[in-house]
Amino acid sequence: MDLVLTATIREGTGKGAAHRLRREGLLPAVLYGENQANLSLNVREAQKYFNTKGINQLITLQVKKGKTKKEEVPVLVKEIQYDPVKGTPLHVDFYQVSMKQKVVVKVPVALVGEDQRVNDGSIIDTVLYEVEVSCLPADIPAKIEVDISGLTMNNSVTVGELEPPAGVEFVTAASEPIVLAHAPRAEAAPEEEEAAEEENAEPEQEEE
């Protein structure tokens, strides 16, 4: 596991303690599982990590206990709360996983082969941006590639048509479409729009 985040055990809990941590450039966090603990992380380091690596990958959480003791814990992100204005993380929940037990996680979808498609005038519409998979933590794929080079008008690519990576099973139903190719929607002429508006307009009530 080469994805490492450093965390420190924190003593204080509650909103007041969380505000103090954020003022110091730290990110409050909680670790759930066998080694449950309240933690803090460097907010810039954590945000850079989540922005570049995503939040669906197995993470080695290097937990500092005191000045010299460190413990490496395999974790997944359970939830991240973000500032609605700044977009910076406010709080993160991790949960410890067993490397010998399968987990169910969502993995992002990546479309490939679009530049090789025949230009038949169709519009590509992504229906699923993530799919659920079941696998051991070490086998979690960074993404699921969906080849659309042969996708033509009025057809789709479903989950069942994909070949999962080694050690990975799809949890999302096989019949679920991931991407569709459909005809461009025709824009209504101004006269047609006016006629439709008049038809849908409620009739005025006469005053008694």
Sequence ranges of the domains in the chain: 4-96, 103-182
Pairing of strands 69-82, 89-96: antiparallel
Secondary structure letter of residue 137 according to DSSP: G
Looking at residue 3, its pLDDT comes to 72
What is the residue-averaged pLDDT of the chain? 88
Lowest-pLDDT range, 70-74, 100-104, 126-130? 70-74
The band of 65, judged by pLDDT with boundaries at 50, 70 and 90, is: confident
pLDDT digits (tens, 9 = 90+) for 35-61: 899 999 999 999 999 988 888 999 999
Nearest Cα residue to 145 out of 114, 176, 174, 119? 114
* 132, pLDDT greater than 60: yes
| Confidence (pLDDT) at 194 | 62
What's the mean pLDDT in 2-17?
A: 82
pLDDT of residue 208: 45
**Measured distance CA(117)–CA(153) in Å, rounded:** 11
Burial class (CB in 10 A: 0-12, 13-18, 19+), 158: middle
Backbone angles phi, psi at 127, to 5 degrees: -95, -45
Q: Residue 102 pLDDT > 50, yes or no? A: yes
Topology of domain 4-96 in CATH is Ribosomal Protein L25; Chain P (2.40.240)
pLDDT, position 1: 44
CATH domain 103-182 topology: RNA Polymerase Alpha Subunit; Chain A, domain 2 (2.170.120)
pLDDT the model gives residue 117: 92
Mean per-residue pLDDT, 161-174: 97
pLDDT score at 94: 97
pLDDT at residue 98 above 90?
A: yes
**Per-residue confidence band for 6, with pLDDT thresholds at 50, 70 and 90:** very high
80 three-class SS: strand
- DSSP designation for 150: T
> What mean pLDDT is predicted for residues 199-208?
55
